[in-house]
Chain A
């Protein structure tokens, strides 16, 4: 039907609905640019998406149609950023055979699949600092109106073979019965005088030592070192003192704004965030078209991109923003993916550390046995990501060998089959994500083409916001980045507005 034909002239064409692309789409629409935003997938988010159980279970890396189109166009897409080692498994037989007398596990694979749509499983789960750049941007741009958030209700760590709640606030510190009064004072002293310590270290030229050594030199007890190093600063043992102090300050700075911990999580999963930016973009006039499977190539004239070939349509624009996975191979020759992110997701039948209320938990599993620090997020049904009675557990770390091997020790310790108190894994999903975040090595990019990297290892989106801003400034140097959108009460739809609309050059 003619209905599927897109308009053919825009200020900006965005290909890919990953987070950075979506932020740029919103920012451009917001300042009145005409935007076409397309994706070859039939879902929003690219590698930042969330899926229901059925869809994720059957996930396959989607491929653009590869028909033999003409050679003088730059074919869109490369396979550098594909998800790798994807494997899902049902574990019902294991759970039952190991708990023969436990008749309570009457859940079946079919039961979970019947609730498939109640699951929103993130490819990349993200947590936000309550006073981080991302939250500030949500509020200042008024995008906060579209999405709801939930506070992370506890931060856990794994110490001496068991899970422990990390005291976050002053009152937590004093209520904690695992640390002595002297330790409490030492901890408070450290946390309240980080600025001074930073200055002192600079004077003493001690910035080169590791944060771990520094904490030892401050004579903190092993458990305090553990809390600060892993849970608050989320550092590896050899991270520098500068980095450690920086991230501890970030943690402290975000305390006391929303909830008991410094962290927030988006209701219904992290995939909502890119969608929220896309909605803002649409609200300000951008045209959205998913499932554009016949996206073929880019055309250039004199080092500049002029248009895209989409099916039999030629669509023109001044500027082009592409998710890195859509970049033509030609530009990616020097790019090597050296760092992968190991990911695992489990559906479990109970919390790692059951409590009277349902918790949204962030667990920093310390590096041990030659493994890296692992970020674990456990979410229950109140997060809108799984049905009641179940938990989703997300594991993320810098890859050493494979997701399976990188997380094996954690699975043994926290989901032990022989331990009846431990949660049983009902379903598991393992995969590797390409973790590149530096696209500077891309060669001879046309001056009006901007590439956006995929998800990184960071806990939050702050680095991605920074990247989006950098690209925005290059495209529109003198214009404001995501100014506050009006509240519903401020929208006047009357004669003035009508006149304004008529003046606008609508190229439909």
Chain B
């Protein structure tokens, strides 16, 4: 559970500053490189023929921002988007989303816009959304213009970057930009997600739970 790593991941072992935890969901058409972006960010790896991430409910990674440690709990679609079968529970309590498209494929950009709309309908109203035009290393085969995506992002209040999971370009940066934009208030320092509920664990002593109401 989240509190297992707790403060231990701070690079110099110091415990000052607060830890904020956020659920981030990835969206986008199959094969645009969602899992590759996560693996680059979390493990620093890239595999040309990345198989789907079997067994990973979500992955975690932390970023240090001044005196705050931002811990991302990153959810991948597990392929459920392929036949338009992503469950509503996927968006529950998500505070951030990265909508990914492939700059060499115009259809995936169209689908990305649909995902943004879906998020605006389904997800929490304060969700921070970033648009990632992935596969920037294939810019010579580009079919989606940078300016077109930038204009769309501006109109919809989205963060936008072109990324490459292969070369690592802008991968850390896009997560960092999201981390900067997320509200780092009391509420997100809890370890139990949205603050309205709790995750169940074997020993859940009552004093550990966060039962604050959020609004």
Residues of chain A at the chain B interface (Cβ within 8 Å):
4, 6, 44, 117, 135, 138-139, 142, 144-151, 257-259, 264, 267-268, 272, 275-276, 278-280, 282-285, 287-291, 358, 381-384, 388, 485-489, 491, 493-494, 498, 501, 506
> Which of B54, B73, B200, B209 gathers the greatest number of chain A CB atoms within 10 Å?
B200
A259 (CB) vs chain B CBs: closest residue: B206
Please determine whether A488 and B57 come into contact, CB atoms closer than 8 angstroms: yes
B54 (CB) vs chain A CBs: closest residue: A285
- Chain B residues 6-47 with CB under 8 Å of chain A are 39, 43, 45, 47
Looking at the assembled complex, report how far the CB atom of A303 sits from the nearest CB atom of chain B, in whole angstroms. 31
- Chain B residues 40-80 with CB under 8 Å of chain A are 43, 45, 47, 51-60, 73, 78-80
A493 partner residues in chain B, CB cutoff 8 A: 39, 43, 45, 53, 56
Q: How large is the interface on B (under 10, 10 to 19, 20 to 34, 35 or more residues)?
A: 35 or more
Question: Given the complex of chains A and B, what is the CA–CA distance between A488 and B66 in angstroms?
Answer: 26
Please determine whether B78 and A283 come into contact, CB atoms closer than 8 angstroms: yes
A501 (CB) vs chain B CBs: closest residue: B51
Interface hit among B87-95, B150-158, B165-173: B87-95
Question: Given the complex of chains A and B, what is the CA–CA distance between A117 and B88 in angstroms?
Answer: 11
A284 partner residues in chain B, CB cutoff 8 A: 54-55
Query: B133 interface residue, CB < 8 Å from A?
Result: no
Those 10 A-B pairs whose CB atoms lie nearest each other, nearest first: A148-B197, A289-B83, A267-B197, A282-B78, A275-B87, A288-B85, A275-B89, A501-B51, A290-B85, A144-B200
Please determine whether B52 and A285 come into contact, CB atoms closer than 8 angstroms: yes
A487 partner residues in chain B, CB cutoff 8 A: 1, 4
B194 partner residues in chain A, CB cutoff 8 A: 148, 267, 384
Known contacts A147-B89, A288-B83, A382 near B56 by CB under 8 Å: no
Known contacts A282-B78, A282-B80, A488-B60, A149 near B85 by CB under 8 Å: no
B200 (CB) vs chain A CBs: closest residue: A144
The residue that B57 contacts in the complex, of A139, A280, A288, A506, with Cβ under 8 A, is A280
Query: B140 interface residue, CB < 8 Å from A?
Result: no
Query: B186 interface residue, CB < 8 Å from A?
Result: no
Please determine whether A489 and B4 come into contact, CB atoms closer than 8 angstroms: yes
Known contacts A148-B192, A491-B56, A501-B54, A287 near B90 by CB under 8 Å: no
Question: Given the complex of chains A and B, what is the CA–CA distance between A65 and B91 in angstroms?
Answer: 31
Question: Given the complex of chains A and B, what is the CA–CA distance between A348 and B5 in angstroms?
Answer: 43
Question: Given the complex of chains A and B, what is the CA–CA distance between A503 and B122 in angstroms?
Answer: 39
Please determine whether A272 and B92 come into contact, CB atoms closer than 8 angstroms: yes
Question: Given the complex of chains A and B, what is the CA–CA distance between A131 and B57 in angstroms?
Answer: 24
B52 partner residues in chain A, CB cutoff 8 A: 285
Known contacts A493-B45, A501-B54, A146 near B196 by CB under 8 Å: no
The residue that A150 contacts in the complex, of B84, B88, B198, with Cβ under 8 A, is B198
Question: Given the complex of chains A and B, what is the CA–CA distance between A487 and B58 in angstroms?
Answer: 8
Please determine whether A258 and B206 come into contact, CB atoms closer than 8 angstroms: yes
B204 partner residues in chain A, CB cutoff 8 A: 257-258
Contact with A along B202-214 (1 / 0, CB 8 A): 1010100100010
Please determine whether B82 and A268 come into contact, CB atoms closer than 8 angstroms: no
